[in-house]
Amino acid sequence: MTVAQGIFYLIAALAVAGGLGVVLARNTVYAALFLILALLAVAGIYILLASEFLALVQVLIYAGAITVLLLFALMLTRVGDLEETMVGAQWPLAVVASILLVGLLITTIATSDWPGDADGMITRIPFETLGEALFRQWAVPFEIASLVLLIALVGAIVLARDEEGDVEEAE
């Protein structure tokens, strides 16, 4: 086994362990911390695939911002029935469904003939090339994505704040 393979299997094992922790942990905060482990492992996969920019974005936005947001939501919705909301009654069916799904996917992957393996080279995309493509070729999707973010955040503020109109009507 070469060094690259060893690193890949280590990172893959970390990602799968983190994922299992997210869905199996009995404590919600532990589940969020396992999610950070899985997301950081995915960032490692991105680095193996020579996409440093994505790895940086993954660490900053996913492992940093989104997980903090999730932890805040967990804190703000602390309720007494937390324990019984951890696992639903239909979990044996879910086990069967997800094992069938992973079996189906892996059989498909193993039996399919994937193109592009011949030369065996991964080219590193420099930040400049990526930025130029993002702001020239993909400028319209980029602007639409920023509009989606703006609308989603304004919507989130409107949804989450206390409505003053309701209080006045009540009085």
Partner 1 sequence: MEAVAQQIPLEHFLVLSAILFSIGVYGVLTRRNAVLIIMSVELMLNAASINMVAFAAYTSPAAFTGIIFAIFIITIAAAEVGLALAIILRIFRNRGTANVDEVNALKW
Query: Which positions from 85 through 144 interact with partner 1, judged by CB under 8 A?
Result: 85-88, 90-91, 93-95, 97-99, 101-102, 105-106, 109-110, 114-117, 120-125, 129-130, 133-134, 138, 141
- Contact positions with partner 1 (CB under 8 A) in 1-30: 2, 4-5, 8, 12, 15-16, 19-20, 22-23, 28
Query: Least distance from C-beta 138 to partner 1, angstroms?
Result: 5
How far is Cα 131 from Cα 57, in angstroms, rounded to an integer?
Answer: 13
> Which residues, at least 6 apart from 95, have a Cβ–Cβ distance to it below 8 Å?
none
Q: What's the min distance (Å) between Cβ of 155 and partner 1?
A: 6
Question: If we measure between CA atoms, which residue out of 153, 131, 134, 156 comes closest to residue 143?
Answer: 134
Report in angstroms how near the CB of residue 13 gets to partner 1 at its nearest.
Answer: 10
Q: Phi/psi zone of residue 116: left (φ > 0), alpha (ψ -120 to 50 degrees), beta?
A: left
Sole binder of partner 1 in the list 10, 73, 127, 139 (CB under 8 A): 73
Check residue 40 for interaction with partner 1 (CB under 8 A): no
Q: Does residue 80 sit in helix, strand or coil? A: helix
User: Which helix (H) or strand (E) is 21 found in, with range?
Assistant: helix 3-24
